[in-house]
Amino acid sequence: MSYETILVEQRDAVTLVTLNRPQALNALNSQVLAELIQAFAAYDADDSQHCLVLTGSEKAFAAGADIKEMQAQGFADMYGSNFFAGWERVTDTRKPWIAAVNGFALGGGCEVAMMADFIIAGDKAKFGQPEIKLAVTPGMGGSQRLAHAVGKAKAMEMCLTGRMMGAEEAERAGLVVRVVPAESLVEEALKTAAEIAAMPPLAAIAAKEMVNAAFELPLAQGVKFERRLFHGLFGTQDQKEGMAAFVEKRPGNWSGK
Residues that bind ligand CO8 (CB under 6 A): 24-25, 27, 63-68, 83-84, 104, 106-108, 130-131, 134, 138-140
Min CB(182)–ligand CO8 separation in Å: 16
Residue 22 CA to residue 5 CA, distance in Å, equals: 9
Q: Which of 65, 116, 182, 193 is catalytic?
A: 65
Min CB(190)–ligand CO8 separation in Å: 26
Query: Is residue 58 annotated as a catalytic residue, yes or no?
Result: no
Q: Which of 35, 111, 171, 226 is catalytic?
A: 111
Query: Is residue 111 annotated as a catalytic residue, yes or no?
Result: yes
Min CB(57)–ligand CO8 separation in Å: 11
> Beta strand pairing status for 51-55 and 97-101?
parallel
SS3 186: helix
Q: Cα 64 to chain center, whole Å?
A: 15
CB count in 10 Å sphere of residue 77: 11
Query: Is residue 171 annotated as a catalytic residue, yes or no?
Result: no
User: Judged by CB, which is closer to ligand CO8: 14, or 158?
Assistant: 158
Residue 178 CA to residue 31 CA, distance in Å, equals: 31
Q: Judging by beta carbons within 10 Å of its beta carbon (0-12, 13-18, 19+), is residue 141 exposed, middle or buried?
A: middle
User: Judged by CB, which is closer to ligand CO8: 78, or 244?
Assistant: 78
Min CB(80)–ligand CO8 separation in Å: 12
User: Judged by CB, which is closer to ligand CO8: 19, or 140?
Assistant: 140
One-character DSSP codes across 102-136: -SEEETHHHHHHHHSSEEEEETT-EEE-GGGGGT-
Sign, CA torsion 144/149/152/155: negative
Catalytic positions are 65, 108, 111, 131
